[in-house]
Amino acid sequence: MNRPAAENVTIYAPRPCRLLDVQQLTPQEKLFRLQLADGSDLGHQPGQFVQVSIPGLTEAPISVASSPSRSGYFELGVRRAGRLTAALHQLQPGAPLGIRGPFGRPFQLAALQGRQLLLIAGGCGLAPLRSLIQYCQDHADDYASVQILYGARSPDDLMFKQDLANWQISDSFTCRYTVDNRPASSCYDGETGLITQLLADLRPDPAICCAVVVGPPTMYRPVIAELRRMGLSGARQIMLSLERQMRCGVGKCGHCSIEHLYCCSDGPIFWLEEVEQLRGALG
Amino acid sequence: MLKQLTRSALEHLLQQTAADYRLQVPQRLADGTRQLAPYGSGELSLFGETPQRKPTSAFFPQTEPLLKIDSTGAVQLPAAAEKPLALFGLDAHDLHGIAFIDRFFSAAPADDVYLRQRTNALLIGLTGAAGPDQSFLPLSAGNCDIELIASNDHWLAVAYSETGEQLLEPFPDGDNDRLRALREETSSYRAIRPDSLQKASELLLHDRVPDDFWEAIAARCILCSGCNLACPTCTCFCLQDRQRADGTERSRVWDSCQLDAFMREASGHNPLGSEALRTRRRIHHKLAADPQRWGELGCVACGRCDRACPTGIGIFAVAEEIVKRYEKG
């Protein structure tokens, strides 16, 4: 075998990055605004992810939460869940970080053009979906309509509250959100109930509607059933973002395999029909 | 190019190879096992059982430094080896295993860490009368630089690459009729892979194996992960950081899909959250997912996992069980 390796470069090398800003989104989630140390753009597309590297703690895959149309920075919405994300949550602006990527198959933007979009997120699935929402906002004329539907467990768990408020008053979008449970002590006065209830009274035109669904594994099957009931039963009508423990991001480490596919490189964005029959794909 | 080597000519070829390569050859170790070990560190073993350590570990070792990150975030790659590797003594199964992971790691984006070990490495097959008690080992598919085919008291030597031709140049020509006869013997030899692997593959691809089968197989698994560690086509790894005085050393380490943490996410969600699902994954990946992705079985039928498994659920055993239970049903 005579195929030479690139000299002094490796696909596993993180690029130095600066933390520009940190915002608390919920008690468990923060939004990190970052910039590559050399000032260049990340070069991502909506739906892609990066590997965040912290020396001593290896890496964690995190979806990019901002659109490439907002240049000069990129943002990551991160739930504190493991050791690396706990350390990330301790960092202050100015801290150095490493980034590999962007990786993965992005949202299929060309297939969405001219369509009625139903953008549906559950829990922290709003973070990756936000990259597409911002993109749609910056290319509003490209879509027949854009409807955002979001569900969280409780009012405290609602991510991107300021964005949600802005999207609700935006001319470009319709935006509704709901919480599964509203504690008696909460001053939340919005909608309550599962995200499928937000879908129940929609009347999209199946001929031109395309749904994008990003959420926890338990959300997919009920939401898909509701979308099918609404007539979205054709090919290339429902796009999903799947989550797995993607450790390398380049289809080598094996941790994100879904039968014969690698979520990190064949996904994380899939058309429903590409994964629906694959064991374990939809939880 | 076909040449013929006597025992002393073979020694000469190995000496010559060792001058330019980090040569590993089969040796009988003090514990009685036969393994690939650095040339000159023990007695050469020219026939015998397949070394249990997988040969792919030479290019994809159990622990492998990827890079070092200093306090400024600057990344430094490990120093390159002075000489490329050469492996001698590989049978047809092992050459097939190396070819399988060559394709896997070369698929875009190519894994430069693997390529740095593998590029310019030399593979010398050893087939013919080279099995236990000089039993016949089928000839290779030519996926090596040189194949030495043991025959009576000499070795036929076939070059399959330019480097192989250069190394064999000084030796006398071999007997083409003898090579033809050995190739015929290979084709009449039992298939390189047992039929049960292909049949089990088809049953898995047609979803004919029910969940309770995997429950029963998984109940016998003791989670030693020996199957994965012994398998030449297993390539899964995780990352590991170690703090050193001059920075953080990031390595990759073999991982096993039989272990609970393999796919567990930080959220607690685990797509392989039961032993039955993980056992299915191990077999399904080789016999159904790999054929779908790469066009061939991921099992090269070397037999290592069946030898390693203390409870008899290596891939041959499981494939046979699948065929026995579900072929007609």
ipTM of the complex: 0.93
* Cα Rg, chain A, nearest whole Å: 19
Residue B268: predicted pLDDT: 85
Q: Which residue has the tokens 């290779």?
A: B140
**pLDDT at residue number A172:** 86
Cα–Cα distance measured from residue A148 to residue A213, given in angstroms and rounded to the nearest whole number:
10
Residue A15 to residue A38: CA distance in whole angstroms: 9
Strands A15-24 and A29-36: antiparallel
Q: Which CATH number does A15-103 carry?
A: 2.40.30.10
CA dist list (Å): B321 to B312, B316, B328: 11, 9, 13
Give the residue among B2, B6, B14, B8 at the shortest CA–CA distance from B165. B2
* Domain boundaries defined on chain A: 15-103, 109-241
Q: Which amino acid is at B291?
A: P
| Percent over 90 (pLDDT), chain B | 90
Please report the pLDDT score of residue A272 as a whole number: 97
Amino acid at B36: L
Spatial distance between the Cα atoms of A122 and A109, rounded to a whole number of angstroms: 21
- Edge to edge, what strands does the sheet with B237-244 contain? B75-76, B63-69, B247-254, B237-244
Q: Encoding tokens for residue A82? A: 């493991």
Strand order in the sheet with A96-103: A59-63, A49-53, A96-103, A15-24, A29-36, A74-79
CB atoms within 10 A of CB B32: 6
Question: Hey, is the C-beta of B239 within 8 angstroms of any chain A C-beta?
Answer: yes
> How confident is the model at residue B71, as a pLDDT?
87
Nearest CB partner across the interface for B120, out of A2, A16, A244: A2
Estimate to the nearest angstrom the gap between the alpha carbon of B125 and the chain centroid.
Answer: 13
Q: Contact A202/A145 with Cβ under 8 angstroms?
A: no
pLDDT, mean of each 10-residue run, chain A (283 residues): 75 96 97 96 98 97 97 96 96 94 98 97 97 96 96 96 96 94 90 94 94 95 96 96 95 97 97 95 86
Question: pLDDT (tens digit, 9 = 90+) per residue, B86-127?
Answer: 999 999 999 999 999 999 999 999 999 999 999 999 999 999
In this structure, the strands spanning A238-241 and A209-214 are parallel
Q: Write down the number of H helices and E strands in chain A.
A: 7, 15
The tokens of B94 are what?
Answer: 């092992």
C-alpha–C-alpha distance, residues B175 and A69, integer Å: 69
- Looking at residues B282-308, what average pLDDT do you find? 97
A78: nearest Cα among A130, A42, A17, A28: A28
Tokens 């395999």 correspond to: A257
Q: Which of B 60-119 lie inside 8 A of A, CB atoms? A: 66-67, 69, 72-75, 77, 102, 104-107, 109-113, 115-116, 118-119
- How many Cα atoms sit within 13 Å of B64 on the Cβ side? 23
- Select A109-241's CATH number: 3.30.210.10, 1.10.10.10, 3.30.70.260, 3.40.50.80: 3.40.50.80
Cα A108 to Cα A120, A154, A227: the distances in Å are 15, 31, 19
Rounded to 10 degrees, what is the CA torsion of B59, B294, A280, A178?
Answer: 90
Contact A217, A29 (CB under 8 A): no
- Assess contact for A198 and A263: CB atoms under 8 A: no
Q: Which amino acid is at B329?
A: G
pLDDT of residue B236: 98
Say if residues B144 and B123 touch (Cβ distance below 8 Å).
Answer: yes
How far apart CA A57 and CA A98 sit, in angstroms, is 11
Q: Determine the residue of chain A that is closest to B268 in CA distance.
A: A81
Could you report the per-residue pLDDT of B153-212, keeping only the tens digit for each? 899 999 999 999 999 999 999 999 999 998 888 877 656 678 999 999 999 999 999 999
Chain Cα centroid distance, residue A73: 17
**Domain ranges within chain B, ordered by starting residue:** 2-59+79-188, 195-247+256-326
Option in A59, A217, A252 nearest B269 (CB): A217
Average pLDDT (B205-227) is: 96
Condensed to tens digits (0 to 9), the pLDDT of residues B52-88 reads: 999 999 999 999 999 999 988 899 999 989 999 999 9
Q: What per-residue confidence (pLDDT) applies to A283?
A: 77
CA B97 to chain CA centroid, Å, is 4
Residue B57 neighbours by CB under 8 Å, 6+ apart? none
Q: What angle (nearest 5°) sits at the alpha carbon of residue B167, between those of residues B166 and B169? A: 65
Would you call A264 helix, strand, or coil by DSSP? coil
Q: Which of A56, A243, A258 sits opposite B243 (nearest CB)?
A: A56
With a cut of 80, say whether residue B329 has pLDDT above it.
Answer: no
Tokens 């509701």 belong to which residue?
Answer: A226
Binding-face residues of A in 172-231 toward B, CB within 8 A: 216-217
Question: Chain A residue closest to B104 (CA)?
Answer: A252
10-39 in B: which are within 8 Å (CB) of A? none
- In whole angstroms, give the CA distance from residue A22 to residue A270: 31
Cα of B266 to nearest chain A Cα, Å: 5
- The token duo for B218 is 């998984």
The reported pTM is 0.95
Residue with tokens 């015998």: B48
Query: How far apart (Å, rounded) are the C-alpha atoms in residues A71 and A152?
Result: 29
Dihedral sign (CA A35, A38, A43, A49): negative
Nearest to A58 among B116, B240, B269 (CB): B240
Q: Which pLDDT value is given to residue B83?
A: 96
Please state, for a pLDDT cut of 70, what percent of chain B lies above it. 98
CA distance A118 to A59: 32
Residue B123 confidence (pLDDT) = 98
